[in-house]
Structure 1
């Protein structure tokens, strides 16, 4: 039984299980460049993804990435924040928000803007784990994570203290991980193996950025 193993042994089995995951739903909160970023994404090993990213003080971006294309949709707060960083005059900012807010923008993955956005769709980076768990990893109590029983494993990390919650029954997937210390955040995994829907909403109003003179008007997420 998993519960009979040491903390390091449980983590090792979980790392192996997560490396084999073909797709998952990920919800995370973390600090990036001194601001909080929230992710809510479904993504797979082909780097397809569908979901949303919310930046503290910068609004929300919806994202759909398929094999060849990137679509994203920023709300009014996002585009105003982009304009503010570029010191865009108010009249131009208002016009940009009117044209772009809550509208799907399309670009090929060969576009540098798409490349800078696509990194958030890398499931491998999220599930790769480390090559070897700390032998000091400490097994703790069993708790419920989203209705599933999970074993808690505490480890020392470079940023502080990491607590991983490993599924106690079935495949030992990582259900949740938290970090506290110099950095803080949490990430939750679910819907393992579920297909990722990369279709645009029916009737979506899409602007093709590759056909606009001067390229993309925005800033990468």
Structure 2
């Protein structure tokens, strides 16, 4: 399972889902453009800084990483709470929650069989892990920063926005025709380079110009990710102890 930088950059999380261009019929008054007079690069700077300041958001999308497609949908806040789900190329899926410095993951049978055990584990070993975790949550201490993996890759808001800051293009952008993202008018900014084309959609809101969507086409890691529910607290309840398996216990069983 990959860390956040891949999630943001590529799945920076499918092939482009481009919103339809909005328009007005003749005679309609167009609302004032909150970005009038700003270059595309300046709009990008403003949107990144605004999104970085959010105390919470939902991030959902689909993308390819190393040629394999993964779908994620999760919410995270700056108090260490997160919850969501993911689907992996082999067809399995898993729920993810994090709270109080601990992360939990509960996968279906296909998920554990395809991801369980150490690299090179036999089908019998992966099957044993799947049986041990059936209907239960795998519990593990949270890790922070760029090296976090597993559920922690989805639960560290600080690292997610850091990766966003580093990966979102902010120089040499072109402003395209405005569009609509789930009912919200958006300015559309794009940049082409040897790695493909990155297009992102910024809410046309002078006070809170959040990034609403990022689309990457071409290159090795195409994907689309949508952001929503900004500053909405994430409520998480840890599962009961009798429904969890501690990671240390799991590692002993695997050995």
TM-score (norm 1): 0.82
- Partner Cα separation in structure 2 for residue 54 and residue 163 of structure 1: 24
- Partner Cα separation in structure 1 for residue 116 and residue 225 of structure 2: 30
Identify the structure with bigger relative contact order (alpha carbons < 8 Å, sequence gap 6+): 2
Match of 2:35 in 1: 3
- Partner Cα separation in structure 2 for residue 119 and residue 94 of structure 1: 25
Any conservation in 2 of the 1:159–1:179 contact (CA below 8 Å)?
no
Where in structure 2 are the equivalents of 1:49-64 lying within 5 Å?
Answer: 49-64=82-97
Match of 1:138 in 2: 174
Q: Map Cα deviations across residues 106-149 of structure 1 (whole Å, 9 max, x no partner).
A: 23337xxx953212323234334248711x31111121101111
SS of corresponding position for 1:133: coil
Where in structure 2 are the equivalents of 1:168-207 lying within 5 Å?
Answer: 168-169=204-205, 170-182=207-219, 183-200=221-238, 206-207=243-244
Any conservation in 1 of the 2:76–2:154 contact (CA below 8 Å)?
no
Match of 2:246 in 1: 209
Where in structure 2 are the equivalents of 1:27-176 lying within 5 Å?
Answer: 27-82=60-115, 85-89=120-124, 94-109=127-142, 115-117=148-150, 118-128=152-162, 129-130=165-166, 133-134=170-171, 136-157=172-193, 159-169=195-205, 170-176=207-213
SS of corresponding position for 1:171: coil
Q: RMSD value over aligned CA atoms? A: 2.8
User: 1:213 deviation in Å?
Assistant: 6.7
- Partner Cα separation in structure 1 for residue 77 and residue 108 of structure 2: 25
SS of corresponding position for 2:149: helix
User: 1:175 deviation in Å?
Assistant: 0.2
- Partner Cα separation in structure 2 for residue 116 and residue 217 of structure 1: 19
Structure 1 residues 11, 208: closer, same or farther in 2, change over 3 A? same
Q: Give unmatched runs, 5+ long, in structure 1.
A: none
- Partner Cα separation in structure 1 for residue 71 and residue 184 of structure 2: 23
Q: Give unmatched runs, 5+ long, in structure 2.
A: 1-32
- Partner Cα separation in structure 2 for residue 189 and residue 213 of structure 1: 34
Aligned residue pairs: how many? 211
More strand per residue? 1
Structure 1 residues 12, 34: closer, same or farther in 2, change over 3 A? same
Give yes or no for the alignment of 1:26 onto 2:59.
yes
